[in-house]
């Protein structure tokens, strides 16, 4: 997601700085000519002050999915915001997940904790809550297809969205005029709501793969979250890239 934001911001003629614990080399496909890259670490604060010098807006696409990174996810957000405040940044935009505060799955809990950090910030903040990316379900199908079994979770529907569409919203919120509401939340989702089986059939056809679609139960907090439809937002259909059109542009997901 960070790479998508950098690409769109450069295309818009903006002055872009990207910070990461492991900045891409100049020969990497993740490197965009025209952006300045800084090595910085929100878990310690190292490099943040230098990276944020002269920045007007921060777009936070950082992730912390497992272990120590997830445990320190909210604290890392607090360090980033503190450094941004010290650098004179006027606004911070955070990428988050739809209804993350309504699940006790550890990853979602960490997202909700970070949202609360943003709500307490001295800066103007916008939290953009997105439904799941097209790439998430495609990765599940691709992994299963290696053994000719394409798994779909029982009772699950998805409103998947393209990363580039999400990046467009993040950038638009970053560039918007100051708001009278100090801390806002915006929720976005894809154009279509489909069962996971329907998505699997679309993926299998696009990929030209032979594989049996197998329905499997998804236990625990994540299964409950999906079966209850908390991953859907029918009233907020955003963007133009459907699952089919995204697959047509992403042969590596097949």
CATH number of 2-253: 3.40.50.720
Task: Write out pLDDT tens, residues 145-183.
Answer: 999 999 999 999 999 999 999 999 999 999 999 999 999
Distance CA(240)–CA(245), nearest Å, equals 9
Q: Which of 89, 250, 34, 69 is nearest to 162 (CA)?
A: 250
Cβ-based burial of 71 (10 A; exposed 0-12, middle 13-18, buried ≥19): middle
Radius of gyration of the chain (CA): 19
Task: Write out pLDDT tens, residues 219-232.
Answer: 999 999 999 999 99
**What does each of the 254 residues of the chain score in pLDDT, given as a tens digit?**
999 999 999 999 999 999 999 998 888 888 999 999 999 999 999 999 999 999 999 999 998 877 777 888 999 999 999 999 999 999 999 999 999 999 999 999 999 999 999 999 999 999 999 999 999 999 999 999 999 999 999 999 999 999 999 999 999 999 999 999 999 999 999 999 999 999 999 999 998 888 999 999 999 999 999 999 999 999 999 989 999 999 998 766 55
Structural domain boundaries of the chain?
2-253
Q: Are 32 and 26 in contact (CB under 8 A)?
A: no
Q: Which of 123, 35, 48 is nearest to 83 (CA)?
A: 48
Query: Which helix (H) or strand (E) covers residue 31, if one does?
Result: none
Q: Which of 221, 226, 49 is nearest to 19 (CA)?
A: 49
Task: Write out pLDDT tens, residues 199-219.
Answer: 999 999 998 888 999 999 999
Question: What predicted TM-score, i.e. pTM, was given to this entire model?
Answer: 0.93
């Amino acid at each position: 997601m960070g790479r998508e934001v950098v690409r769109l911001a450069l295309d818009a003629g903006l002055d872009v700085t990207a910070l990461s614990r492991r900045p891409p080399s100049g020969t990497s496909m993740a490197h965009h000519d025209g952006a300045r890259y800084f090595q910085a670490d929100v878990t310690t604060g190292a490099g943040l002050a230098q990276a944020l010098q002269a920045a007007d807006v921060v777009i936070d696409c950082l992730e912390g999915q497992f272990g120590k990174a997830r445990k320190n996810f909210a604290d890392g957000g607090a360090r980033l915001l503190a450094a941004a405040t010290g650098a004179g940044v006027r606004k911070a935009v955070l990428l988050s997940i739809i209804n993350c505060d309504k699940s006790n799955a550890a990853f979602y809990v960490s997202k909700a904790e970070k949202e609360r950090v943003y709500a307490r910030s001295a800066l103007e903040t916008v939290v953009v809550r997105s439904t799941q990316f097209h790439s998430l379900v495609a990765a599940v199908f691709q992994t299963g297809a290696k053994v000719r079994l394409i798994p779909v979770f029982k009772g699950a529907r998805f409103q998947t969205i393209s990363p580039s569409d999400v990046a467009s919203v993040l950038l638009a919120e970053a560039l918007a005029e100051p708001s009278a509401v100090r801390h806002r939340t915006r929720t976005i989702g894809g154009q279509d709501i489909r069962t996971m089986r329907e998505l699997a059939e679309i993926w299998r056809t696009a990929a030209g793969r032979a594989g049996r679609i197998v329905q499997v139960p998804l236990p625990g907090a994540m299964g409950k979250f999906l079966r209850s439809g908390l991953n859907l937002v029918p009233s907020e259909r955003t963007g133009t890239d459907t699952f089919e059109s995204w697959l047509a542009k992403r042969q590596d997901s097949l």
